[in-house]
C-alpha cells in the first residue's frame, strides 16, 4: 500500500520535534481524519536554516511532514512556499489516493509557518496580513 519512501519516513522520521523560540509556526489539521501537523521554522536572512515537525496522525501524515521539512530546509522562503503537495507526494514515491490529503496538510503547514514568520516581521503574508 505504501511506497518504500513513505515507510522509511514513517519509521525513521527526519526533523521530528519542535524548534524552541521558532521564527515561524504553522499548525494545521484535518477534522475528518484527525491528523494534526505542526511545523516550526528557523529563518536566517530569508532562508530556512532549520525545520521541525510534530504530527499526530497516520503513517502518511508523519511521512508527509518528515518529507516536507526535508524539502524546505536550505530554501529561501519563496522557494519553500513553492513546494506543493504534489512535490511532497512525488518525493515520497506516491501516496494512496485516500491519503493525498496528508501531503495537502504538509503544504498548508509550510504556508502557515511562512505566513507566521512574515507576520512577525511585518512583511506581507499570503492572505494580505
Q: Which residues are catalytic?
A: 33, 102
Q: Where are the beta strands (DSSP E) in the chain?
A: 24-30, 35-44, 47-56
Instruction: Give the Cα separation of 10 and 115 in Å (integer).
Output: 27
Strand partners, 41: 24, 51
Crossing angle, helix 59-72 and helix 4-11, to 10 degrees? 90
Q: What are the cell numbers at 55?
A: 504530527
Amino acid at each position: 500500500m505504501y511506497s518504500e519512501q513513505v515507510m522509511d519516513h514513517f519509521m525513521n522520521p527526519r526533523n521530528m520535534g519542535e524548534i524552541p523560540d521558532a521564527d515561524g509556526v504553522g499548525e494545521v489539521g484535518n477534522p475528518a481524519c484527525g491528523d494534526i501537523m505542526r511545523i516550526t521554522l528557523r529563518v536566517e536572512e530569508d532562508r530556512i536554516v532549520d525545520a521541525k515537525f510534530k504530527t499526530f496522525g497516520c503513517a502518511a501524515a508523519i511521512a508527509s511532514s518528515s518529507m516536507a521539512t526535508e524539502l524546505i530546509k536550505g530554501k529561501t522562503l519563496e522557494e519553500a512556499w513553492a513546494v506543493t503537495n504534489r512535490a511532497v507526494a512525488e518525493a515520497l514515491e506516491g501516496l494512496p489516493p485516500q491519503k493525498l490529503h496528508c501531503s495537502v496538510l504538509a503544504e498548508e503547514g509550510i504556508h502557515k509557518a511562512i505566513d507566521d514568520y512574515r507576520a512577525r516581521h511585518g512583511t506581507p503574508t499570503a492572505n494580505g496580513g
